Amino acid sequence: MKRLSVLRKLCVVFAFFAATAIASPAQVLTTLHSFNGTDGSYPIPGLVQGSDGNFYGTTFEGGTNCNAGCGTIFKITPGGALTVYSSDGANGCGFYPGLVQATDGNFYGAGTWCGAYGGGTVFKMTPEGTLTTLYSFGSQPNDGGNPTGTLVQAPDGNFYGTTYNGGTNRGCNFGEGCGVVFRVTPSGTLTTLYNFCSQTHCADGSNPRAGLVRATDGNFYGTTYAGGANGAGTVFKITPSGTLTTLYSFCSKGGCADGRYPEAALVQATDGNFYGTTYDATADGVANGDGTVFKITPSGTLTTLYSFSGPDGANPWAGLVQATDGNLYGTTSGGGANGRGTVFKITPGGTLTTLHNFDGSDGGGPSASLVQASDGNFYGTTAGGGANGDGTVFRLVSVRPCFSCSLQWK
């Protein structure tokens, strides 16, 4: 009887710790697909979930067309079945930007290179994979070139975006241009709204690598990779008609402790503020120089929420997504336990939790924002690693352990 009593007590203790474990769900990452070059390489952009429940994305290189690989556009089911829509360069290549599904049900995107003039394109793709080039950069003088950010559709039905190069101001990026903000209609009429580096010493920023986010006030907000008061990038606001306001210049604090070189788009959270990341931080190489997570108000007050130091992740190339739990989720392209990048969660107050450390076999170097799907899980891509070294598509699931202590005594 004493032995039975002890066993029962142990069972109660085990149940207590099991209940405690249930409060802290584990994160399980599943590799849904490893690219092999033929079906694409280096899926730098993220995914978008279509109205059909499947995910759509692009790769920067690979495919069966072009000598070096033009890149591919693909569809992947939540279970991992991949369909490839290859590009021959005519509709663009080097797909650095991701896709957006428009109100007409089609997907719209941009090719960073190729097109009629080699400066990239804006294209439309049906859910079945039929591509149509809407615009080739270089069609007009100083219309911009080499778009690297994902388009955003506004309520007026038009798409708004940025180009990394081109425009009227050519003194940036080895003379390739300082970049522009543009608007393009669904039929392909493009209007340049703003030319970066229009102010002395590029105080207004230059060379945006990220797309725009349309805010609740009807304006667009974005980042530039370079330029600004300190040459380390900016956060800006631009009206639909093209009036730009620089809200913040990075590297305004000693040692660039506030970060520098933002690569990713912003996200507007439910609190009305914008959240984003910088790829780098301190310029002098001291501790915590591996990038930041920041919050910025619509009026331009910036708060650094977290500074990466390496073991917790390094160099976030991607932006953030606010999940249904109110927290923000993102990836770092390097650092972590294995030096191959991480997936993390951060509260709006700045408390960071590392959810997954990539080790190469499951992918590495994630550079794209996550998407929280209709099933509540997160889906994303890694730019490298996987079974063939060409990148992966993955799913991250929160798993709550279920323990039972229902021993039957005889």
State how far the Cα of 95 lies from the Cα of 58, in Å rounded to an integer. Answer: 6
Give the 3-state DSSP-derived string for 19-51, with helices as H, strands as E and coil as C.
HHHHCCCEEEEEEEEECCECCEECCCCCCEECC
201 in the Ramachandran plot: left (φ > 0), alpha (ψ -120 to 50) or beta?
left
Tokens 């209709």 identify what position? 374
How many C-alpha atoms does 190 have within 13 Å on its Cβ side? Answer: 26
Rounded-to-5 percentages of helix, strand, coil across the chain:
5, 40, 55
**Phi and psi torsions of 13, nearest 5°:** -65, -45
Cβ(310)–Cβ(300) under 8 Å?
A: no
**pLDDT number for residue 87:** 82
**pLDDT number for residue 65:** 85
Predicted structure pTM score: 0.91
| Consecutive H or E run containing 170 | none
| Helix/strand/coil for 156 | coil
Amino acid residing at 113: W
**Burial profile 122-139: b = 16 or more Cβ within 10 angstroms, e = fewer:** bbbbeeeeebebbbbbbe
**pLDDT number for residue 25:** 57
State how far the Cα of 360 lies from the Cα of 119, in Å rounded to an integer. Answer: 33
Amino acid residing at 372: Q
pLDDT in tens, the chain (410 residues): 333 333 333 333 333 333 333 334 568 999 999 999 999 999 999 999 999 999 999 999 999 888 768 999 999 999 999 999 988 888 999 999 999 999 999 999 999 999 999 999 999 999 999 999 999 999 999 999 999 999 999 999 999 999 999 999 999 999 999 999 999 999 999 999 999 999 999 999 999 999 999 999 999 999 999 999 999 999 999 999 999 999 999 999 998 999 999 999 999 999 999 999 999 976 554 456 899 999 999 999 999 999 999 999 999 999 999 999 999 999 999 999 999 999 999 999 999 999 999 999 999 999 999 999 999 999 999 999 999 999 999 999 975 544 443 333 32
| Helix/strand/coil for 410 | coil
Tokens representing 248 are 């913040």
**pLDDT number for residue 69:** 82
State how far the Cα of 352 lies from the Cα of 19, in Å rounded to an integer. Answer: 23
Tokens representing 324 are 């249904």
Q: How many CB atoms lie within 10 A of CB 285?
A: 7
Which residues on neighbouring strands pair with residue 226, listed in sequence order? Answer: 206
| Helix/strand/coil for 11 | helix
State how far the Cα of 344 lies from the Cα of 328, in Å rounded to an integer. Answer: 8
Tokens representing 177 are 């241009």
- Helical residues (DSSP H) of 126-280, grouped into ranges: none
